[in-house]
Amino acid sequence: MTTFRLLALSLLLTLTACAQPEPPEPAAIDEEIPAQTVSALDTLMDAYDVPGLYPSRMEQAEAEAWADSVLATLSLDDKAGQVILANLPSSGGVDGIVENARGLIERTGVTGFLVGRLLPPDEVFEVTRQLQQAQIDAGRPPLFFAADYERGVGRFSNAFTELPSNMAIGATRDPAYAAAAGRLSAMESRAVGVRLLFAPVADVNNNPGNPIINIRSYGERPELVGEMVTAYVQAAEAAGVATTLKHFPGHGNTTTDTHSRMATVDGDRAQLDAIELRPFRETFAAASPTAVMTAHLWVPGLDDVERPATFSPVVLTDLLRGELGFDGFVVTDDVRMGGLANDFDLAQRVTQPLAAGADMILTPRDVDAAARAITQSIDAGDLAADRLDEAARRILVAKARLGLSRDAVPTQEAFDYVNTRPLGQRVADAIARDAATVVRSSDALPLASGTRVLALHLSNYTGSESIEAAVAELDAQLESDEPLPRQPRLAHRPRPLRRALGRRRCGRDRPLPPPRQRTRKRRTASRSGRTSPGCPRLRQAGRLACVRQPVLGPRLPRRRRQSHLLRSDGGFG
């Protein structure tokens, strides 16, 4: 048998329906964005003319005056609530979510909610609309709704856009794509009422053993990461959302996932300046991100005391605010993560970040207890009251700057426009097309019908429906007698991967084993390099269609793998 050609394909495709109306005139773009990027960005975004999705920002002086007037009316308990962002309840449908959230607001006065990545956009819209209107009716400050929309608002099953990963955007080497991702994410986020994006990731992927950053980073070159992060921030902020650079002071150079335990990033100060800190420094110089998220890791090159950066005044106050000049608000990563929870109790996890210079505490498990811990710490003199005032004021100023003090309630018109006319597919397709990178080539390219192909996909977690849909579509195209299209369009509903792979199993016409057994055999094959017992002729036939390896880097214990990497809300820290 002749040696078959092996081609590794990076499948960076996104599923949404596509409807293309006549392109309107593009909206004005912030003057900070380079002219070359603006031109390319307008070309990518010229299908959008979404009413209600363009910014109505407040000037800094007016925002500060509003924040001061609101702060003067808040009690100590109210101020404690203003620095806590809670998890949005996720059960009971819209009515149950709203009822539970309103109860939490009444008890603690939380500043807002983290929206689950898996919550459908129509439910997100209805929840944010009702809760913001309730705040207005009660005379309370508007809420921050935040989300880990690193890859956009959409998923394969809805009309909003799911973008390729940041690593794909970095592979294009074109900042216009990062800007398009930022602007598109901002517009679609505004449509559902989310105004605080926990994106972009500013970490440099300089450690191949990193189990949690990897494809979430724009790449391993700090200058590329800085360029892409800057473009994203400029475009997203100009489109009316708050962006968050994460994870300061850099989470790339570690083999530890801080969801499980505290990590350490090595390197002296010169190395940290050249790699980890460079994207942050360059973005602060060219753009104005609203927030920075801290990392639960120790950086000996920055702080001699062994403690997470989230607890370090040396990192958050002296470096971030003093040396780098950041004047937005600082939010912690999830304080439930093992990087903090393994070694510190709840009171420490909410008060020590505030004392170190953080302004917002992210998703404590017991919000009521967290708020009490803050007020008790102030009463005991362990946390300065002025520090709490400063943190609450920064958050209120950020809300006002976004225009939340005037138009916090998302509009039905804007939501319906995006939900019924999904226009982001062309951006995702363009990124996916230009991100395709030939690492090593032979005369196997271009592909012809009947070519034997190994399609290998890597994901942070198992069960990615969008990737499975892409693999299924590629499988169908390769087996078709029709030539491969230049820009393949995926079906809106993916067929099961099991059916797509069924025709390519070892050349034998027999059903595949059950999903759990099949997955276990594929993992065995990928770890050992041997074919699984169920497919003895797999290597000889050259028909391996997909290996589902869930992480880039060290294997995690099987019983913890998925929960360890993917939060219950479907997002990442």
Instruction: Show which residues are catalytic.
Output: 259, 333
Tokens describing residue 276: 């980890």
| Amino acid type, 15 | L
> Residues 148, 199: contact at Cβ < 8 Å?
yes
CA distance between the termini of the chain? 49
- Output b/e per residue, 336-357; b: 16+ Cβ within 10 A: bbbbbbeebebbebbbbbbbbb
| Amino acid type, 310 | T
Q: Rounded CA gap, 27 and 506, in Å?
A: 54
Tokens describing residue 411: 């509009």
Q: Is 98 helix (H, G, I), strand (E, B) or coil?
A: helix
Q: Rounded CA gap, 151 and 195, in Å?
A: 15
- Backbone phi, then psi, for 319, in 5-degree steps? -85, -60
Bridge partners (DSSP) listed for residue 115: 147
What are the DSSP E strand ranges found in 196-277? 196-197, 244-248, 263-264
Q: Is 488 helix (H, G, I), strand (E, B) or coil?
A: coil
Peptide bond into 457 cis (omega under 30): no
Q: Rounded CA gap, 324 and 402, in Å?
A: 23
Please count the other Cβ atoms lying within 10 Å of the Cβ belonging to residue 25.
8
- Closest C-alpha among 375, 289, 288 to residue 83: 375
Strands 84-87 and 361-362: parallel
511: left (phi over 0), alpha (psi -120 to 50) or beta: beta
> Residues 506, 492: contact at Cβ < 8 Å?
no
493's CB contacts (< 8 A; 6+ apart) are 157
Burial of 379 per CB tally in 10 Å (0-12, 13-18, 19+): exposed
Peptide bond into 247 cis (omega under 30): yes
- Backbone phi, then psi, for 86, in 5-degree steps? -95, 160
